[in-house]
Amino acid sequence: MDGIYQQGVKVHFLGCTEFEKIAYTPVYSADSTTWNRTGGAGRIFYWNPNRIGYKKLDKIALGDKTPKRLVQYHIRDYLFRDQLEDYLFQELRLSIDDLTGENALFNRALANIHYFVLFEEWVNRKHKELGFTF
């Protein structure tokens, strides 16, 4: 990939939204349907600042309908629930109840879209730090 980047080619990752793959390689853009599918599956993404290193993504299930293979953490026993609730309220004026209630699908999509807006900022910051310019 570095050779392509050195030649000025802008690379697009299709279907990839993993921070470690995008942030540490000279990728110009990326997209996937993850933001939408994740909310529909009853989950949200949370960039957990309490995690050490670059793997800070917590995938949090909000109900019991999410297939077990997709559950990394469940909200009922999530160790960082208080921090997540603060983040949701401060950033989006949402509560956990908003993510499970009447407008749950919309609110989960909103939370996940917001996650990816922040994700873009984190990737851009890392690219700048690594000297990638496009």
Over residues 35-84, the pLDDT tens digits come to 778 898 899 999 999 999 888 999 999 987 777 777 889 999 999 999 99
Q: Are residues 21 and 39 in the same domain?
A: no
Distance CA 63, CA 74 (A): 8
Q: Are residues 21 and 55 in the same domain?
A: no
78-114: per-residue pLDDT in tens?
Answer: 999 999 999 999 999 999 999 999 999 999 999 999 9
Q: Are residues 71 and 114 in the same domain?
A: yes
User: How many C-beta atoms surround the C-beta of residue 21 within 10 A?
Assistant: 12
Q: Is residue 52 in a domain?
A: yes
Determine the Cα angle at 33 with ends 27 and 37, to 5°: 140
Q: Both tokens of residue 44?
A: 């949200």
Q: Are residues 24 and 45 in the same domain?
A: no
Helix or strand holding residue 5 (H, E):
helix 2-6
Q: Are residues 38 and 28 in the same domain?
A: no
pTM of structure = 0.87
Parent domain of 61:
34-122
Beta strands in the chain (DSSP E): 12-14, 29-31, 43-47, 57-61, 73-74
Q: Is residue 54 in a domain?
A: yes
